[in-house]
A and B are shown apart, each in its own frame.
Chain A
Amino acid sequence: MEQDISYRIQIISIVVSLIFLFYVSRLIVKGKLREEYAIFWVIGTVLLIIFSFWRKGLDIFAELVGVYSPPNLVFTAAIFAVFIYLIHLSVVVSKLHDKNKTMAQELALTKAELKEQSKDKKIKESDD
């Protein structure tokens, strides 16, 4: 019975990981997700799949870093990874913000320049 339950969770996690991998792949194929941002998700999913199949692996790593309960290692690692990724995204947003600002300013300056040129042209034409 106990064996049956642990197989069940193994199957569920494998299926969910595969669905997730498929979903990420689809997003990349459709061009909705750039590869550089997808790397994180692909690696994460592959790790999930590896540990879903290789059940002993989690225990081995937990013992290696001195975590008593293997599931805690999963939570800690996952939360840490998500934090790092969130900071990375904030950096990306900040960069986009700066670029967006520069573009808007350049656009406003160029528009003014164009208007000035057409004004000059009109004056010239009326002089002729």
Chain B
Amino acid sequence: MIKIAAVVPAYNEEESITNVVSSLHALQLSGVELLPVVVNDCSIDRTADIVSKLEIQPNTSKLVLLDLPVNLGIGGAVQTGFRYAFEKGFDYAVQVDGDGQHSAAEIPKLLEALQATDSNVAIGSRFIQKEGFQSTGMRRMGINYLKNLIRLFTGLSILDNTSGFRMLDRKALSLVNEYYPDEYPEPESIIIYVKNKLKIIEVPVSMNERQGGVSSIRYFDQLYYMVKVSLAIIYSYIRNK
């Protein structure tokens, strides 16, 4: 039996969290046990309430809620879930955003790709087969810039480097258990994986437009995002481990 933790970082996702959890529960794979691990990043709406209620209902009780006492941002929240998965001995952990962008039905693709290619990290990518929601023009430009920056430092071309839809094996989890960036962790973590000689594979998946809530990256933050992530990538590369 393969044990997978589906880490769902959630910040103010009261509109979509029930759907995300039930879609994870609906996923039946032979030989696989999937446990949703919702990380509530100190939401100010009813996210925590909703999840605790799901937790005590018999048909949705296969669920773990990690309730952060202070807001840590997406990276800190995701890391909490990954740490849980690592400490509890899960074989894999997959990040599924609480806003409904990532569909549970695509999880098997990540798992198959990891197993078939003997990789450590599988990144779900919107841009390989160009299916489903493709993000907006400005963002595509940013993602393209990051692709070039990451290629400069690692030689790897990761098309959808800001995708949070990722599956990690235990080797990757043990690394993330030690260190994971707080803010905008996706592009930076690629560098960290490569520096620690993990094998990354990009897997074509289809994504949805978010079902509710607001993106963690709003319009005015985009310049800051680019500068911060660029710096983070450069310094992660220079850093020893």
Evaluate contact between A109 and B72: CB separation under 8 angstroms: no
Evaluate contact between B69 and A107: CB separation under 8 angstroms: yes
Cβ contact of A100, chosen from B39, B70, B83, cutoff 8 A: B70
Evaluate contact between A101 and B66: CB separation under 8 angstroms: no
Which residues of A sit under 8 angstroms from B87, Cβ to Cβ? Answer: 109
**Interface bracket on B:** 10 to 19
Instruction: List B24-70 residues whose CB lies under 8 Å from chain A.
Output: 39, 64-70
Evaluate contact between B69 and A109: CB separation under 8 angstroms: no
Evaluate contact between A108 and B64: CB separation under 8 angstroms: no
Residue A105 at the B interface, CB < 8 A? Answer: yes
Evaluate contact between A104 and B84: CB separation under 8 angstroms: no
Contact of A105 with B70 at beta-carbon distance under 8 Å, contacts A112-B64, A112-B65 already known: no
Evaluate contact between A109 and B84: CB separation under 8 angstroms: yes
Once the chains are docked, how many angstroms separate the CA of A97 from the CA of B69?
A: 14
| Most chain B C-beta atoms within 10 Å of own C-beta, residue among A107, A109, A116 | A109
Evaluate contact between B182 and A108: CB separation under 8 angstroms: no
Contact with A along B164-187 (1 / 0, CB 8 A): 000000000000000000100000
Residue B162 at the A interface, CB < 8 A? Answer: no
Evaluate contact between A104 and B83: CB separation under 8 angstroms: no
Evaluate contact between A109 and B66: CB separation under 8 angstroms: yes
Instruction: List A92-107 residues whose CB lies under 8 Å from chain B.
Output: 97, 100-101, 104-105, 107
Give the shortest distance, in Å, between A4 (CB) and chain B (any CB).
54
Which residues of A sit under 8 angstroms from B72, Cβ to Cβ? Answer: 101, 104-105
Which residues of A sit under 8 angstroms from B84, Cβ to Cβ? Answer: 109, 112
Once the chains are docked, how many angstroms separate the CA of A107 from the CA of B83?
A: 12
**Interface bracket on A:** 10 to 19
Once the chains are docked, how many angstroms separate the CA of A115 from the CA of B51?
A: 14
Which residues of A sit under 8 angstroms from B76, Cβ to Cβ? Answer: 101, 104-105
Nearest residue, chain A, Cβ from B71: A104
Once the chains are docked, how many angstroms separate the CA of A108 from the CA of B82?
A: 13
Evaluate contact between A109 and B67: CB separation under 8 angstroms: no
Give the shortest distance, in Å, between A123 (CB) and chain B (any CB).
11
Residue A111 at the B interface, CB < 8 A? Answer: yes
Give the shortest distance, in Å, between A101 (CB) and chain B (any CB).
5
Nearest residue, chain B, Cβ from A100: B70
Evaluate contact between A104 and B68: CB separation under 8 angstroms: yes
Which residues of B sit under 8 angstroms from A116, Cβ to Cβ? Answer: 64
Once the chains are docked, how many angstroms separate the CA of A28 from the CA of B127?
A: 58
Instruction: List A6-46 residues whose CB lies under 8 Å from chain B.
Output: none
Residue B80 at the A interface, CB < 8 A? Answer: yes
Give the shortest distance, in Å, between B47 (CB) and chain A (any CB).
14
Cβ contact of B182, chosen from A101, A107, A109, A112, cutoff 8 A: A101
Residue B79 at the A interface, CB < 8 A? Answer: yes
Which residues of B sit under 8 angstroms from A97, Cβ to Cβ? Answer: 182
List the interface of chain B (C-beta within 8 A of A).
39, 64-70, 72, 76, 79-80, 83-84, 87, 182
Q: Enumerate 21 A-B pairs (CB-CB under 8 Å) in ascending A order.
A: A97-B182, A100-B70, A101-B72, A101-B182, A105-B68, A105-B72, A105-B76, A105-B80, A105-B83, A108-B39, A108-B66, A108-B68, A108-B80, A109-B66, A109-B83, A109-B84, A111-B66, A111-B67, A112-B64, A112-B65, A116-B64
Q: Kindly list 5 other residue pairs between chains A and B, CB separation below 8 angstroms, not including A104-B76, A109-B80, A115-B65.
A: A97-B182, A105-B79, A107-B68, A108-B67, A111-B66
What 5 pairs across the A-B complex have the smallest Cβ distances?
A: A108-B66, A105-B80, A108-B68, A104-B70, A101-B76
